[in-house]
Amino acid sequence: MQATFFPFLLVFTLASWSSLVAAGDSKELRELRRDAQKERQQQVRERNKEVNGATRAFRAYTRDLKADYRERAKKLDTEFELREVERKAEHDARVASAEAEYQKKLSALFMKSGVKFTEETLRQMQSEAKAFSNALFELKKQSAKEMHAVRIANEQEKNALWTEMDRMALDKAESLGLTQAYPPILATPIGDGLTSQEERWNEREKKNIARIIERNRKALNEFRTGAALRKWEIDNLNEDFRLTWEEKAELHALDSEQSLYNLMLMQPAQGKVIDQQKLMNRMAELNKQKRLISIEYKKIRDKNRIMRHEEKKAILGP
């Protein structure tokens, strides 16, 4: 019985000793991992303090920078608007003079003594009236082009000013470290591998880095996309101007014809030469065409508004 008990006792003793050795190793690993965790936490605190300080400094810098450049842009707008008042007055004076001449010429077509209102005469009058009207329209269009060109020049000058500001803001962000790629502070294996706690730490740290990068991206986005957005806005101003005068040109042709018919209806003698009912029907058709033109251009503008909303989102990014 004693011989049987001794081997069992030996095995039990060896197992207990091995367990004690393993327990000693585990305690040492725990201490190493605990020290590493404290070091990581300290590094994260220092990093976050640095990033938050840089973010506050950048916000303060860009707030003052924007205020300065806003005043400079406002000054450009004020100077432009003062010149615009003068230009518009000159424009209106030219148009008023041209319109008066147009009305005189148009009235003169019906005031010629001895004129017989034949079909041939009426066609000639329509041709002359159209020429007068087209000349007036071209004067208005040319004047509008000149004013639009000056407005675009002012917008481009402001664009250059804001682009300068964007560059200064981005340079400041770079000097503060807000454009760098932050490496995550990850737990590394101590012993056989990562513990579940260390794995959770690494996942959180990667997410924290992603949040920092996204926060910085949003803070810098307006300065990175500013030039592209302003160019897009200027392009839209040019497109809107072109569209407006395309619509005006289509309506002008109908308005010109309608104005002549209105004068015809006011001439008592015309009733014996022209079928007034036919003339009224034609004027109703002109009104219909004008309405359809307005509807078509409104549709184009509504589509542009929707498309531009998406285009702006694409420029600004997520």
Tens of pLDDT, residue by residue over 174-211, are: 999 999 988 999 999 998 889 999 999 999 999 999 99
User: Would 111 be classed as within a structural domain?
Assistant: no
Structural domain harbouring 191: 40-102+126-316
Least confident of 46-50, 105-109, 170-174, 242-246: 105-109
Is the confidence at residue 17, as pLDDT, over 90?
A: no
Tokens coding 294: 């307005």
Is the confidence at residue 7, as pLDDT, over 70?
A: no
User: Would 116 be classed as within a structural domain?
Assistant: no
Orientation angle between helical segments 2-111 and 119-175, nearest 10 degrees: 150
Nearest-angstrom CA–CA distance, 262 and 215? 66
Coil/strand/helix, residue 188: coil
User: Would 151 be classed as within a structural domain?
Assistant: yes
Query: According to the 3-state scheme, what is the secondary structure of 190-210?
Result: ECCECCHHHHHHHHHHHHHHH
Nearest-angstrom CA–CA distance, 51 and 304? 41
User: Would 8 be classed as within a structural domain?
Assistant: no
The pTM of this model reads: 0.78
The residue among 121 and 90 whose pLDDT is bigger is 90
User: Would 33 be classed as within a structural domain?
Assistant: no
Task: Please count the structural domains in the chain.
Answer: 1
User: Would 148 be classed as within a structural domain?
Assistant: yes
**In this predicted model, what pLDDT tens digit does every residue of 45-103 receive, in sequence order?**
999 999 999 999 999 999 999 999 999 999 999 999 999 999 899 889 988 888 888 87
Q: What is the mean pLDDT of the chain?
A: 85
User: Would 264 be classed as within a structural domain?
Assistant: yes
Nearest-angstrom CA–CA distance, 34 and 36? 5
User: Would 27 be classed as within a structural domain?
Assistant: no
Least confident of 259-263, 286-290, 292-296: 259-263
